[in-house]
Structure 1
Amino acid sequence: GGGGNDQCKVDVTVSRDGSVVVAVGTQDLGTGTRTFTRAIVAEELGLGIKDVVEQIGNSKLGSANSSGGSTTAASLSPSVKDAAVKTRLAVAEKIAPLFGNAKPEEITFAGGNVSGGGKTIAWKQACAALPAAGITSHGVWRSELQSRGVHGVCFAEVEVDVETGKVRPIKMVQVQDGGLPLNRLTMESQINGGMIQALGMALWEGRTIDADLGMQLNPTFMDYKLPGSLEMPEMIPIIDDEDTREVVIGIAEAAIIPAVGAVANAVFNACGVRVRELPITPDKILMGLMSERRSA
């Protein structure tokens, strides 16, 4: 699993009207960056995720790591958390007179309200006591909030037609850990994506290279076979909740690894042919079956 690095700088701004903006240069490639960036800040300030606006993907914003390599979440989320905590304490300090000059750490934020000194008021009412320019806090990477090293296991069921050599995946179940899930739905989606990519590697994806020119002969989606919706089996992603590490770890690429071997082993279990070169295409199955008959 991918650990993070010290590249992300995050700004969180709270205005007097109660609006909250979290800003960083990181891009979102569809892996949930927008969601967890807002969610971390919202949780720290006791707000709903819809109450926080994200600004991302612009070099004018805080510096950021590249988006990819299973490192984005582990690089960005600790910086967001750091900025969110600093923002909470900074806001609490400014509005402390509303709560009898309670200590900032004694003021709580929950359910869209702010409480302290035996008094509770709405978030927007509290923010009206902020300076005209609002409050802006800068977050930096905190290494103790992230880690690396994930583990997964996949179970696959396939059907092999011994007359045609066609392999039909029926069901896949994959268990994956990953430290602290920032968003369970997107983590399950990444596990599903790993199983789908592994299916492509195991059964369909293969480059055809011209032996003399070294050029790929199937470079387009018209020629290079990827698994489509009709090839995808029933997939059950399971998050390992026995992983009690309270740290963020990237899992996207790691989720691809277990299923390839599971599919190859399922093919062997179904027909007795051990294919050692991917993809496992019908011709390899038929040649393996023929070899088995000859040696019988």
Structure 2
Amino acid sequence: MQIALAPMEGLVDEILRDVLTGVGGVDWCVTEFIRVSDRLLPASHFHKLAPELRDGSRTPSGTPMRVQLLGSDPACLADNAAFACGLGAPVIDLNFGCPAKTVNKSRGGAVLLREPELLHAIVAEVRRGVPAAIPVTAKMRLGFDSPDVALDCARALADAGAAQIVVHARTKVQGYKPPAHWEWVARVQEVVPVPVFANGDIWTLEDWRRCREISGARDIMLGRGLVSCPDLARQIAAAEAGRADEPMTWSELLPLLRAFWLQARRKLSPRYAPGRLKQWLAMLMRSYPEAVALFGAIRRESDCPLIDRLLGVDPMALPAMRIA
């Protein structure tokens, strides 16, 4: 079984990738999408969203990281994919699942699921453009407004050379509204010869068990569920191995929250760092009552030194948290 950490724009950046993969259970992770339009992007753009490229394309815990590209121009995507490989990307992942309106309006993400032939052209061109030893993978949804073409889309991706396909088991129009239709993951796996990962609405160990039963998928990708419950991948990996893993307590999570805050303080301006902390805390509230109280205490705060004190953080530790 492989457990992957999903790419989530504006949420799972290198800071959260570092923290979540450090907990354990995650086999690989994916960058936030790098938008490709009509030109070859500079190295600085790749390094901004994927600084792990400078460290062997691994998070500090040693978890492999894949580079995800988003766009609709096959040739331009291929050129940028080849460049990313030259920078050290071990896998190129292609985004055909983002439901954001602004992304879809610019012909990126899930809107391309209306055009299976274009999906094929993109994957085929990228596959030709990168070294043969570097896999090309893809993430898709069940369609734009209907799953009617889901199987055609999956076939197009696999026939063009995608080595793995992650299926978020909802359409673009469904967004993140429950339920995820895991039964469609099984249908996709029936028509393609490559591994299919189940994604969507896996919040708990019991959700994973039900997802496996319904989808038949051995491999999974965790997104919001892992952000809300940072040890979920570790729990699932332990259960798969026949072991019990005690859920992470708040006292065990708090050092991770402090480390996250210190990195946010270092990498972001004082104007934006508090928002990143509140964003993660808001998701942690699903799993930890203590997060509710802490979120309430800092909800209206924008003063970083005050937040330092509320978290029990020594700001002098900031230099020690620097990442090359």
TM-score tier (shorter): under 0.3
Higher helix share: 2
The structure with the larger Rg is 1
Higher relative contact order (CA 8 A, sep 6+): 1
TM-score (norm 2): 0.20
Please state which structure has a larger fraction of its residues in strand.
1
